[in-house]
């Protein structure tokens, strides 16, 4: 059984199906993951109440979902039940996502440049790793 060291250089494949570049890919991936983690760690997410003409509307958005679930328990093949359940879930998802507020926490310029530099360097290394190396 041949090992990888017995194979000719041209038959060894790295990232993107090209020879070489595995170390660049892994190093770039580590930089992207570290930079992405540090960037996302600086984000604070908050949410507010849904309002419809000044009233809390979250309960109202549950009505189609609950009617659809009830219809599905009555008849699992009910098209109306599936439509109401899907529409209700979509309304809730859109409502949650549209009321999220994202804030970037204050940080030093050094930390910001370090985070963005790690992301840029990692993306560059990953992109370079898919080119053929000679």
* The token pair that represents 108 in the structure block: 């030093």
Q: What count of other Cβ atoms lies within 10 Å of the Cβ of residue 127?
A: 13
Residue 124 makes CB contacts below 8 A (sequence gap 6+) with 28
Cβ pair 128, 23 in contact under 8 A: no
Q: What is the pTM of this model?
A: 0.58
* The token pair that represents 101 in the structure block: 């507020």
pLDDT tens per residue, range 68-109: 999 999 998 999 999 999 999 998 888 888 888 889 999 999
């Amino acid at each position: 059984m041949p090992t990888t060291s017995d194979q000719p250089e041209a038959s060894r494949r790295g990232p993107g199906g090209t020879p070489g570049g595995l170390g660049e890919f892994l190093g770039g991936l580590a930089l992207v993951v570290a930079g992405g983690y540090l960037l996302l760690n600086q984000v604070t997410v908050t949410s507010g109440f849904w309002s419809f003409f000044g009233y809390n509307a979250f309960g109202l958005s549950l009505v189609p979902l609950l009617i659809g679930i009830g219809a599905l328990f009555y008849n699992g093949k009910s098209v109306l039940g599936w439509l109401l359940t899907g529409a209700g879930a979509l309304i809730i998802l859109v409502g949650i996502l549209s009321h999220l507020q994202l804030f970037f926490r204050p940080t030093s310029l050094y930390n910001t440049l370090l985070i963005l530099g790690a992301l840029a360097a990692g993306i560059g290394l990953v992109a370079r790793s898919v080119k053929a190396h000679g």
